[in-house]
Amino acid sequence: MSTPFNLFAPELTGAVDTIPPAAFCTAAGDVFNDLQAPDDSVQVAYLVADTSYWGLLTPAEKTLVRQNIYGLLLDNPGWVGASTNLSTFKAMYDNDYVGESEKLKQDWQVLLQDIATQQATFDSMRLAMDARSLQIRQWVDAMEADTTLRDSLSGLIALAAAEGDSLSRLIMAADSILFLSVQDAADSLLLRNAALEDSTWHYWCEKRYNEIAIQWMTGLEPDSLARVDLREIAQTCLDEGGRAVLSARGLCETWLKEFYGETGCQAAQERSAAPDMKKSTELLILPNPASDQVTIRLNAQSQPGDWQVQVFNLNGGLVQENTLAAGATEWAFSVQDWSSGMYVVRLMNGPKVLSQTFVVQNR
C-alpha cells in the first residue's frame, strides 16, 4: 500500500523504515468509505492507494481519517509495535485533538454498551416478574374454580409473590445505582470534552455535539440554545463539519423529527451567527477551571457596537448576563457560590457570535 505520508505526520521528518502491516491496510480501506457521500460516484477507497488524493481532502476529512486510524490502533495495539510508521503516528496524536477526541468517543461507546448490558439484565428480571405474576393469576383462577385447591396453592402464591417483591426491590436498587454511575461517567466525559480544542469549525462541531448528546444521554433534553447549535451542525456539509455532522443529523431526526442531508447543506460562506473560528484568540476566559472569579477578555474590537454577554449552565439556564459597551475589553464576575460543573459563555454583536466553555471547580 502506498500511503500518504501526511496521513501520519504533518511534515516529512525522515525516512519511514517500516510500512503498516497488511491487517492495518485492509482495515484502513474502510476508513475512507466514511468520506463517501450517498451520491458520490468517486471510489473513495482509492485514496489509500494514491498519495496525490490526500492533498484534495479538506481539513475536516483529514481529521476524520486520522481519528478513525487512531481508533484502529486503539482496537489493535499489536499493530503499533509492528510499524514505526504507526507507532510514530499514535505517539504524535496521543495528546492531540485527534487522540483525545477518539479516546473520548470510545469511552463513550463503552459506557453506552454497559448501559445496554444492564438494561438487558433488567429486562430479563422484569420478564421473570411477569412470569410469576402470570402464574399467580393462573393459581388464583384455579382456586376460584376449585376451592379444594386453596390450601395447596396458597403457599405457592405467597412464595411467588415474595419472589416478585424481591425482584422488584432488586431492580429498583440496581436501577438507582446505574443512574448514579451513568451520571458520574457522563460528568467525567463532559469535563474531558470541555478540554478539547475548538479552534476550527469541525473541532467545534464535534465538541458541541458531544456536549449536547452526552447531556441528552443522562435525560437532559437539548434546550433552545442547544437546538440552535444542533441544527447548525446538522446543516453543515460533511466535508467541512466532519463526523459530528452525521451524528447531529441522527439526533435531529430522533429528537426533533427533522431531516438534514447533503442536499442544501451549508458551506462556510453561507453561515451566519456561527461560532467564530478564531474564538481561541478573540475570546479568552481566565482562569479555566475557576473557583473564585472569572474574567472574560474580548480581543475582537474590530466589531463595532455593544456585546451582549450571557452565561448558561448545563441545564440551559441563564445564570449571568451583562452588556459590554463598544470598546470595553473585559468583564469579571464571581463564581464562588456557583455549583461545580461546566458553563457556556456566549457573546453576541449583530451577526457575530463568539462562544466558549469554562469549568467551575468549587469544594
Q: Treating both helix axes as pointing N-terminal to C-terminal, what angle do 224-234 and 243-251 enclose, rounded to 10 degrees?
A: 130
Cα separation of 311 and 294, whole Å?
11
Of the CA atoms within 13 Å of residue 118, those in its CB half-sphere come to 18
Q: How many other β-carbons are positioned within 10 Å of the β-carbon of residue 108?
A: 19
The pLDDT of residue 281 is 55
Cell readout for 251 is 439526533
| Cα–chain center distance at 72 | 19
pLDDT in tens, the chain (363 residues): 344 444 444 433 333 334 455 555 555 554 444 434 333 333 334 334 444 456 677 888 888 888 888 888 888 888 887 777 778 888 888 988 999 999 999 998 888 888 888 778 778 888 888 888 888 888 888 888 888 888 888 888 888 888 878 878 877 877 777 777 888 888 888 888 988 888 888 999 999 999 998 888 877 777 778 888 888 888 888 888 888 998 888 888 888 888 888 777 776 544 433 444 334 457 788 887 788 888 888 875 556 788 888 888 766 678 889 988 888 888 899 988 888 777 778 888 876 777 777 778 776
The strands making up 307-312's β-sheet, listed across from edge to edge, are 318-324, 307-312, 341-349, 352-360
Cα separation of 158 and 136, whole Å?
9
Cell readout for 130 is 411477569
Q: How many other β-carbons are positioned within 10 Å of the β-carbon of residue 65?
A: 22
The pLDDT of residue 25 is 53
Contacts with 195 (C-beta within 8 Å, 6 or more apart), sequence order: 100
Q: Which of 216, 248, 217, 220 has the alpha carbon at shortest distance from 232?
A: 248
Cell readout for 155 is 403457599
The pLDDT of residue 303 is 64
The pLDDT of residue 270 is 42
pTM for this prediction:
0.58
Q: Is residue 35 within 8 Å of residue 241, measured between CB atoms?
A: no
Q: Does 10 sit behind a cis peptide bond, omega within 30 degrees of 0 on the bond before it?
A: no
